Chain A
Amino acid sequence: MAEMHTHGTDEVLCREFVEIVTDYWEGALPEERLELVEEHLVMCDWCKVYLEQMEATVRALPEATVEEPVPEATEEALLTAYREWRGPS
């Protein structure tokens, strides 16, 4: 009977859920699967935690860069080009 257990229904399991979080957010899941995902989330707190952590990660990512100043030579060259482009003012 071992093959019968969770395979008798086509529920979404945690193992699958963690693979489709981005599809879920991007609206890329077929409707039927979307419903199964939400059904899973109702009963699975651990997947809710995973989802929250993925969300926290995505929200933190914009902070991940350190902007270095534009190299002086580059800025100089670009401003010169800009003045030429603008023409005599």
Chain B
Amino acid sequence: MTALALSPPRLRRPWSGIESAGESEVTELLPETEPERDDARLLDALRGGDEAAFAELVGRYHGPLKRFASSFGAGDAVCEEIVQEAWLGALQGLKSFEGRSSFKSWLFGIVKNQARRRAERERRTVPFSALSGEGEDDGLAVDPDRFQGEDGAWPGHWATPPRAWEDPQRRLASLEAREHLRTAIAALPERQRAVVVLRDVEGLGAEEVCALLEISEGNQRVLLHRARAGVRNALEGYVNG
């Protein structure tokens, strides 16, 4: 008996909501635009002198910006300083922000520049692209032993297929699952982590991430995929465990 002979697992029906370039409309995986509209409202208030609006934006983005800063290889205290400087830079530059990119991605860009300036000042040159890149772009999404070898009836097909997760949305929303998610992200190689955090946690677009990290689209996709697959593998152990 091989995997191809097994009866099908329980699938979502109708099987939909999954984006593909060929058959689907807009991605459902894109983050909602609600926060962006809200950013615009806060920006207007901030420009009008509303201190609470500034405090709210700081509260919203300080954490994400710090996590992003840390992907340039600096320690916690330095990141805190980098992001503080970035906020000051943002205030100075606010007049020139025309809303061509999202406010969020504009902020990330300022942090990137601050991190770079800081590194130059300290004569550490750590461009993102040089960060411990060793081997991060190779490797496989799934353990090759889970597929049949050339001597089987179905080479390249699943030998040990994934077990379906019951009600994944609900299961992955539990506090315990979130803890596993965080652990899984923390365990990723640095470059993969930086990409997946910007894309899937912070919700930036592919182009924005390529520009921020100065990597090619192809490289971005590879890192993103390895990261997602790594997190899925970790969750698989948790959900099935």
Q: Do chains A and B touch in the complex (CB under 8 A)?
A: yes
> How distant is the Cα of A2 from the Cα of B151 in the complex, in angstroms?
8
B58 touching A78 by the CB < 8 A rule?
yes
Cβ contacts under 8 Å, B140 to chain A: 18-19
Q: For chain A residues 51-89, which have a beta carbon within 8 Å of chain B?
A: 51-71, 74-75, 77-79, 81-83, 85-86, 89
B-side interface residues, number (CB < 8 Å) = 74
Q: Looking across the interface, which residue of chain A has its beta carbon closest to that of B230?
A: A57
A-side interface residues, number (CB < 8 Å) = 63
Known contacts A5-B155, A13-B156, A58-B228, A34 near B21 by CB under 8 Å: yes
Contact of A70 among B12, B20, B62 (CB under 8 A): B62
> How distant is the Cα of A47 from the Cα of B9 in the complex, in angstroms?
11
> Which residues of A are at the interface with B, using a C-beta cutoff of 8 A?
2, 5-6, 13-16, 18-29, 31, 34-35, 37-38, 44-71, 74-75, 77-79, 81-83, 85-86, 89
> Which residues of B are at the interface with A, using a C-beta cutoff of 8 A?
3, 8-9, 11-12, 15, 17-23, 27, 29, 31, 49, 51, 54-55, 58-59, 62-64, 67, 80, 84, 87-88, 91-92, 140-142, 144, 147, 150-151, 154-158, 161-165, 168-169, 172-173, 177-178, 181-182, 185, 196, 200-201, 203, 206, 217-218, 221, 224-225, 228-229, 231-232, 235-236
